[in-house]
Structure 1
Amino acid sequence: MKFNHHMSMDKPVCFIDTGSDGKLRVQQSALQILQQIQQPVVVVAVVGLYRTGKSYLMNRLAGKQSGFALGSTIESKTKGIWMWCVSHPTKAGTTLVLLDTEGLGDVDKGDPKHDTNIFSLAVLLSSTLVYNSRGTIDNKAVMDLQYVTELSECIKVKSSDEDADDSSEFVKFFPSFIWAVRDFTLELKIDVLIITITTSSCYCAELFCYSSFLFSKHFISVIEYNFPRDCIQKFFPSRKCFTFPFPTAPENMSCLESLNSADISSEFLKVTDHFCQFVFHDSCVKRLKDGHTVTGRVLGHLAKTYVDTISSGAVPCLENAVIAMATIENEAAVKEGLQVYQSGMEKLKDSFPLELKDVSSEHQHLSSTATQAFMKRSFRDTDGKNLKSLEVGNVRSFRMMVNH
């Protein structure tokens, strides 16, 4: 069954949350939704400190006024990771999967690794990662990106050498990176250095295009100020920055989703529109390490693999995830091929008695059709083991039928 416009979800659902044992888990109801999506998926995840207005942007990307919960109090509204699947507005035959993540940096959570795990999952599952912050791009804003610097310890590309640092490979598989700076003040402050820019020239500026002197050692001698920026440049294949002015008067901030556009700053709406158009146009379909296109079904399997790995205390590995995916999908592909063959043979029974040559001819035709069905779903069946399994199953079914 294909996921089409009529099946778009009318509201988000919880995708990944924390169980009573304190460990992350994938919600079965969300997996069931993803199982139905056979289209390629573009996955956009938003991360950032709590109370920075992440959910508003995700609602705009969904083309809705509301959906993801907007937190107007100090309490973080979004727990775990929530998912919203909608038809992609500009890419036909593609589903847009929006992931809204729990706000980072809430000291009341207890488990210091929880935020890092949520951030890592957002990186692993998305094809575009939106990092949302508020205020100025200053030393603190850069240091808040500590989660990026921890990725080399939280994600592995290859399973062969557990201790090796293979973070130089991240750029081949990581999502594109967008920094959305909310309630932006027009001064970029780095210690005593102040650079004033205009919104029009910055809201779509290449991220860190001015970093060579903003963060240069002439102005800042402490190397850790450069570290998060270096990691972003090293890990993510493309980087973009959007700066959003204050959307409305302070007293209206708590009811942003219910405001008429007349009550929202035209400049804010303009930047939001630019942001959405950029995401729609430039966000790629999610792909696996070997370039295989990810469908909704595969995304669900991936999420389960990564979450189970993290919950077991191990480090998620891209290579292992692809191997696990191949096993699941190839077994399902064999089953699908056998079903095509067996249902065809069952129909043939209605025409009995037949000459053996006619039955053999139909066997050849159905075997070919079953192989096509298998090839459509399988991947990385490099040694042909699964295809052989299908062929053996078809022959077995054929013999049973002839003997009866």
Structure 2
Amino acid sequence: MSEARLMPSPICLVENVNGSLNVRKDAIDVLSRINEPVVVVSVVGLYRTGKSYLMNRLAGQQSGFALGNTIESKTKGIWMWCVPHPNKEGHTLVLLDTEGLGDVDKGDSKNDSWIFCLAVLLSSTLVYNSRGTIDNNALENLHYVAELADNIKIRSTEAADEEEDENSKFVQFFPSFIWVVRDFTLELVIDGKTVCEDEYLEFALQLKKGVSTKINNYNLPRQCIRSYFPSRNCFVFPSPASPENMKRLESLQERDLVPDFLKVTNHFCKHVFYNSVVKTLKGGHRVTGKLLGHLAEIYVDTINSGKVPCLDNAVIALANQENQIAVQEALKVYQSGMEEVKNKFPVGVDDISSEHQKFSSLATREFMKRSFKDEKREYLNKLKEDIDTYYMCLLQENEMASEKKCRGLLKDLFSEMNKRLQEGKYSQSGGYELYCRDRDTIVEQYRREPNKGVSAEAMLNEFLNERGPEANSILYTDTKITENDRKIQEEKEKNALLQQNLKEEEEKRIESERMRKAEMERQEDQIRQMQEKFNKELEQQQQEMERAIECKLNEQKDMLKKGFDEKADLLNEEITNLKKEKESSGGFMKDIVMPLLGTVTELLPSFLNYRVLMKGLKKV
């Protein structure tokens, strides 16, 4: 069962104590148990504007996030409530309620900026909550948007081109934006025409022509909202209840609320449920609850260190964490699968090779599900090395099990013959012929015995070589055999041992060929999975860029329509750059995937020469 189903009320995710931010361990523990993709909705706004009520309604509850009924801000830091997504099976809805901005008790506007910044970085939908109307005063209160360019970097300082305007790319990675206006009393009429809420927002975000400082200050927050967020919507809410009931809003029943307020609330919730997407990292990787927790820790640690949060650095740090875990989990899949084979030792080379191939494929699939941004294949190669090392050990264990079984079998089969040897049955005239007949019968019995494993011929060869002097001794003491016959028989013994050697070598050759074929198929499957993974990531990146291009095109059309030709030209340059980046994003496919082809023959010798390694170990 998802952890979200067991979370009856919100808990604090980011603590804000005396201006110092800290991620709560209990919240991270909750998120670490959510392996589903998360849709993250954050609400920000001035304190005492009713943010928490909206979040409670999104959670499907009347109460949960503290509402408060005084002028004091109730929410400190960022509080989190994880609930099953009402519309998306297998997804979790994560609601983040931030402390009110502009609280006079804090006296630190920078702290507000970081809270706003964290809400943007962690969410897939950002809800800005205000009261009254969207006028110039309301937009000036949203100066935190204009500060994002200073508080968030896309690339690290080392990687970024100093001349590049990074905030032009925010639209690729920022959440969708919803402006909620509470206690709205005006009519939605512009120039005598009734408009919808979204048109009201677009009207409020119109830019003024001119280059004066006053006009630039007027345009800045509007331009930022237009440029940074991939989509924007607006909802206007009437007052929910009579003034005397507002103090006990949390305990009011639906029948006590204004019908129009309920209507807008339901419309707002449906919009969020249907249109809010899964939180993704730069590059399109979908975020789980566990990743969201790591992301919060990375950003808060960066802020506390005095640095500016960087999207690239966060993705790299997350990728390193997740890829290490992905290697461990994938190796467990392989080891668990091969355990059943291990319990059957000794087995033939076909059995162990086919199982190795099967569970290697499953392990790679497990790794691909969890890993991301492993562009240099560092972690994939680590998984391959770990699997190869474990497989080598299994090959050695299987060979030793085969040797033990074969030695025991030969000992049992030759026990009766050894008894006759001690009794002198082969020391009589004609004893050599009897010895050869008994020995050949036992060899036939040995070969008919099933499930001897990979060392069957090698152990027989070793055993017959060890008994060679014994056969020669009997040959030379048998009075029935002439000197000439002895030479003939001695030559036959040598030829028989030579044939046995050839049989052992042929067995090794066949084994090596089977292992080579299985290994080639295994690595071809791995390359196929790598290509599938790459294509999926490439598709996610392309979609990311397509959304950004579409957003910029819409903004450009609006700028041209309103006569802002210079801004339209700048947007055209941004659109051109995005299109070039989109076209070139698939060009490095060969650099990532194709080098894998060269590793196939590089890895094969370790398996083909494992017997040589075994002999070296035995000598030691």
User: Shared fold (TM-score greater than 0.5)?
Assistant: yes
> What's the CA shift string for 1:300-355, capped at 9, x where partnerless?
11111111111111000111111111111111110011111122223333223323
Q: How many residues align?
A: 392
* TM-aligned CA deviation for residue 375 of structure 1: 0.9
Counterpart mapping for 1:206-221 below 5 A? 206=199, 208-211=201-204, 216=208
Q: What is residue 48 of structure 1 aligned with on the other side?
A: 45
Per the alignment, residue 357 of structure 2 pairs with 364
TM-score computed with the length of structure 1 as normaliser: 0.91
List runs of 5+ in structure 1 lacking aligned partners: 189-193
> Conserved in 2, the CA contact under 8 Å of 1:8 and 1:87?
no
Deviates most, 58-67 or 27-36 = 27-36
Contact kept, 8 Å, 1:47 with 1:101, in 2: the verdict is yes
Shift of 1:137: 2.0
CA displacement, residues 244-296 of structure 1 (integer Å, 9 cap, x when unaligned): 11111111111111112221111111111111111111111111110111111
Q: Is this contact kept in 1: 2:102–2:109, CA < 8 A?
A: no
CA distance in 2 between counterparts of 1:185 and 1:122 reads: 29
Secondary structure of the structure 2 residue equivalent to 1:315: coil
> In the TM superposition, what are the counterparts of 1:274-285 in structure 2 within 5 Å?
274-285=267-278
CA RMSD of aligned residues (A): 2.3
What stretches of structure 2 of length at least 5 have no aligned partner?
398-620
Q: Which residue of 2 aligns with 1:261?
A: 254
C-alpha deviation, 1:111, in angstroms: 3.0
Residues 305 and 321 of structure 1 are in contact (CA less than 8 Å); yes or no, is this contact kept in structure 2? yes
Query: Are the equivalent residues in 2 in contact too, given 1:136–1:187 (CA < 8 A)?
Result: no
After TM superposition, the structure 1 = structure 2 runs for residues 289-308 of structure 1, keeping only pairs within 5 Å, are 289-308=282-301
Does 1:166 pair with 2:166?
A: yes
1:5-404 paired onto structure 2 within 5 Å? 7-18=5-16, 22-159=19-156, 160-161=159-160, 165-186=165-186, 201-202=195-196, 204-206=197-199, 208-211=201-204, 216=208, 222-404=215-397
Which structure is higher in strand share?
1
Looking at structure 1, the residues matched to 29 and 39 of structure 2 have their Cα atoms a distance apart, in angstroms, of: 18
Give me the whole-angstrom Cα distance separating, in 1, the residues matched to 2:162 and 2:171: 19
**Residues 184, 246 of structure 1: 8 Å contact kept:** yes
Question: Does the aligned pair in 1 maintain the 2:205–2:222 contact within 8 Å?
Answer: no
Q: CA deviation at 1:163?
A: 5.4
Report how far residue 169 of structure 1 moved.
0.5
Contact 2:73/2:100 (CA < 8 Å) preserved in 1?
A: yes
Cα distance in 1 between the residues matched to 2:274 and 2:103: 33
Alpha-carbon shift at residue 241 of structure 1 (Å): 1.0
Partner SS state of residue 108, structure 1 = coil
Q: 1:162 to 1:48 in 2, by over 3 A?
A: farther
Could you tell me how far 1:377 is from its partner in structure 2? 0.8
Distance verdict in 2 for CA 1:107–1:19, change over 3 Å: closer
Match of 2:597 in 1: none
% identical equivalent positions: 59
Mapped contact 2:153–2:309 kept (Cα < 8 A) = yes
Deviations 1:373-393 (A, max 9, x none): 111111111122211111111
Contact 2:208–2:215 under 8 Å retained in 1: no
Query: Which residue pairs with 2:586 in the alignment?
Result: none
Task: Report what 1:191 is aligned to.
Answer: none
Shift of 1:81: 0.4
Q: State the structure with bigger RCO (CA 8 A, min sep 6), 1 or 2.
A: 1
Report SS of the residue matched to 1:367.
helix
SS in 2 for 1:150: helix
**Structure-2-length-normalised TM-score:** 0.60
Structure ranking higher in helix proportion: 2
Contact 1:187 1:196 in 2 (8 A): no
